[in-house]
């Protein structure tokens, strides 16, 4: 069931500027993803796509609290996180379309969105795999004394796989600067998380197993997300080690592709739709003094950006077959044969 909304009053501790930025990110994610879904049904987006519609507050709230050089690690449901770190929309669409100017040249696809330039260190499609990898990036930052923090986003279902356990324990022992964020959207693919998990709170009820505090936050409340992001990232940067956060949220649509999510009770869906973070936050910002013009401008700009990105991606060429075998190895090539003596 949905947690209760925190009182807007508390938000005075967050600058309106920051909050408007969070709202901008959320709107951009929302419009980008809704359009992506339409384009999937249009057949333009190939393969698969896992949307984060409804979960934008987590990505936006965290991104606003991160330093530019902090690392993001996400899952196949990673578009929101890529956008929140500043990855341009056009190349992401182009990647979903399988085009040459895709963010990954068409090689990665929807499940592997990565933009190292924006410290978006990847979207990982094997459940749990990126938790140890994020720990490794945090260990590297610790060793390099760079002050960077790694933030690793994953789902509720991921808390039941081995890699979760190994990463949490080793991160805690090493006091690695990493924040693990479980986006508990209540379901794995089609199975309710409660049906396959021994504890009611898949992440929070595991925290003590790693000597960590249980932290649950309303993942649909961008201000709450920002606050916990700020405090846990600071803690990590200060050398006090990792945190594990369970953010309660919900995906408005199905798990992926054409899934309509019909396995979910109507009233549950209704209750969560009523807590849609985007209009909710818009209203709260209005109460907090944001003008209609400000908010209108943000909405409009996001709409234009999405439209422009789509047009740009539509115009992008298909990949050249010549790149099929490039970038398997660091010499840019694919040869598993050492060069012949005669060249």
Partner 1 sequence: MAELTYRAAVATGIAQEMERDETVVFLGEDVAAAGGVFKTTEGLLARFGPDRVRDTPISEQAIVGAAMGAAMTGLRPIAELMFSDFFAVAWDMVANQIAKTRYMTDGQVTLPLVLRTANGGGLRFGAQHSQSVESWAMAIPGLKVVAPSNPADVVGLMAAAIRDPDPVVFCESKALFAVKGEVPDGEHVEPLGKASVVRAGTDCTIVALAAMVPRSVEAAERLATDHGISAEVVDLRTLVPLDVATILGSVAKTSRLFTVEENPRLCGWGAEIASIVVDEGFWSLDAPIARITTPHIPLPAAAVLEDAAIPTADRIVATVRDRLEAAR
Ligand X SMILES: Cc1ncc(C[n+]2csc(CCOP(=O)(O)OP(=O)(O)O)c2C)c(N)n1
Q: Which residues bind Mg ion (CB under 5 A)?
A: 155-156, 185, 187
The least CB distance from residue 333 to Mg ion, in Å, is: 39
The answer to whether 216 contacts partner 1 (rule: CB under 8 A) is no
Q: Which stretch binds partner 1 (CB under 8 A): 79-87, 185-193, 210-218, 245-253?
A: 185-193
The dihedral over CA atoms of 123, 125, 131, 133, expressed in degrees to the nearest 10, equals -70
If the CB atoms of residues 92 and 150 are measured against its own copies, the closer one turns out to be 150
Q: Is 307 helix (H, G, I), strand (E, B) or coil?
A: helix
State the distance between the two ends of the chain, measured CA to CA, in whole angstroms.
67
| Residues between 135 and 164 with contacts to partner 1, criterion CB under 8 A | 135-141, 143-144, 148, 150, 157-158, 160-163
77 binds, among Mg ion, partner 1, ligand X, none (CB under 5 to 8 A by kind): ligand X
Strand residue runs (E) in 110-242: 120-124, 150-155, 178-184, 215-218
The answer to whether 301 contacts partner 1 (rule: CB under 8 A) is no
168 binds, among Mg ion, ligand X, its own copies, none (CB under 5 to 8 A by kind): its own copies
197 binds, among partner 1, Mg ion, ligand X, none (CB under 5 to 8 A by kind): partner 1
Count of Cβ atoms closer than 10 Å to residue 337 Cβ: 5
Q: Which two tokens stand for residue 164?
A: 């979760």
Q: Which of 1, 9, 260, 330 binds partner 1 (CB under 8 A)?
A: 330
Binding site for ligand X (CB under 6 A): 75, 77, 125-127, 154-158, 185, 187-189, 255
The span from the CA of 302 to the CA of 60, in Å, is: 14
The span from the CA of 222 to the CA of 220, in Å, is: 6
Q: Which two tokens stand for residue 234?
A: 């600071």
Cα 112 to the center of its chain, rounded Å: 12
Q: In 3D, which of 180, 183, 280 has the Cα closest to residue 223?
A: 280
If the CB atoms of residues 161 and 269 are measured against its own copies, the closer one turns out to be 161
The span from the CA of 45 to the CA of 110, in Å, is: 9
| Residues between 179 and 238 with contacts to its own copies, criterion CB under 8 A | 195-199, 205-206, 208-212
| Residues between 241 and 300 with contacts to partner 1, criterion CB under 8 A | 263
Q: Phi, psi at residue 114, to the nearest 5°?
A: -145, 135
The answer to whether 160 contacts its own copies (rule: CB under 8 A) is yes
The least CB distance from residue 106 to partner 1, in Å, is: 3
Q: Is 234 helix (H, G, I), strand (E, B) or coil?
A: helix
The least CB distance from residue 325 to partner 1, in Å, is: 5
Q: Which of 14, 22, 36, 111 binds partner 1 (CB under 8 A)?
A: 111
Q: Which two tokens stand for residue 231?
A: 């405090």
Site residues (vs its own copies, CB under 8 A): 160-166, 168-170, 172-173, 195-199, 205-206, 208-212
């Amino acid at each position: 069931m949905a947690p209760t909304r925190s009182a807007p009053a508390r938000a005075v501790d967050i600058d309106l500027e920051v909050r408007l930025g969070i709202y901008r990110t959320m709107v951009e994610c929302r419009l980008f993803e809704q359009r992506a879904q339409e384009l999937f049904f249009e057949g333009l987006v190939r393969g698969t796509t896992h949307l984060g519609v409804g979960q934008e507050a987590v990505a936006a709230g965290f991104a606003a609290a991160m330093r530019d050089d902090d690392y993001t690690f996400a899952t196949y449901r990673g578009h929101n996180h890529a956008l929140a770190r500043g990855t341009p929309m056009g190349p992401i669409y182009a990647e979903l379309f399988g085009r040459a100017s895709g963010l990954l040249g068409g090689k990665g696809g929807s499940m592997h969105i990565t933009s190292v330039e924006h410290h978006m260190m990847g979207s990982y499609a094997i459940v749990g795999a990126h938790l140890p990898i994020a720990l490794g990036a945090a260990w590297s930052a610790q060793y390099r004394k760079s002050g960077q923090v790694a933030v690793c986003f994953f789902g509720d279902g991921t808390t039941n796989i081995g890699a979760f356990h190994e990463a949490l324990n080793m991160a805690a022992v090493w006091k690695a600067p990493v924040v693990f964020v479980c986006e508990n959207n209540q379901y794995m693919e089609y199975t309710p998380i409660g049906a396959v998990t021994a504890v009611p709170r898949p992440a929070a009820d595991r925290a003590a197993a790693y000597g960590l505090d249980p932290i649950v936050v309303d993942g649909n409340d961008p201000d709450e997300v920002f606050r916990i992001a700020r405090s846990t990232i600071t803690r990590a940067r200060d050398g006090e080690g990792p945190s594990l956060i369970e953010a309660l949220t919900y995906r408005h649509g199905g798990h992926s592709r054409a899934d309509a999510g019909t396995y979910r009770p109507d009233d549950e869906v209704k209750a969560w739709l009523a807590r849609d973070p985007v209009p909710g936050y818009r209203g709260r910002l209005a109460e907090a003094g944001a003008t209609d013009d400000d908010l209108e401008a943000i909405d409009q700009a996001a709409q234009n950006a999405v439209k422009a990105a789509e047009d740009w991606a539509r115009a992008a060429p298909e990949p050249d077959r010549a790149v099929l075998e490039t970038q398997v190895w660091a010499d840019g090539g694919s040869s598993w044969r050492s060069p012949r003596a005669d060249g």
